[in-house]
Amino acid sequence: MDELNELPEKRLKQLANMPLIESRITLSKDGKYVIHKTTITDIKPMSYYEKVFENPNVSEDATEIAS
């Protein structure tokens, strides 16, 4: 973790704004399959999404996700 202390402050801010990506690999109960699950967590203010959904080029499918 000493490597993070060597990064410039601007780069640390960029890293803090990036999505969090978590990856889990497990074996199925019967042992026949490997399950690889990836979760992407991205936090943005509501004002960002409100502007996205106000855009007339956004499909109806995208607005259904928000509701």
Tens-digit pLDDT profile for residues 12-55: 888 888 899 999 999 999 999 999 999 999 888 899 888 888 88
The pLDDT score that the predictor gives to residue 38 is 97
> Which pLDDT belongs to residue 59?
62
More confident residue, 53 or 1: 53
User: Residues 21, 39: contact at Cβ < 8 Å?
Assistant: yes
Residue 26 phi/psi, 5-degree rounding, is -135, 170
Asked whether 66 and 53 are in contact (CB, 8 A), the reply is yes
In the predicted model, is pLDDT for residue 4 greater than 60? no
DSSP three-state, residue 38 = strand
Residue 43: the pLDDT is: 85
The pLDDT value recorded for residue 31 is 96
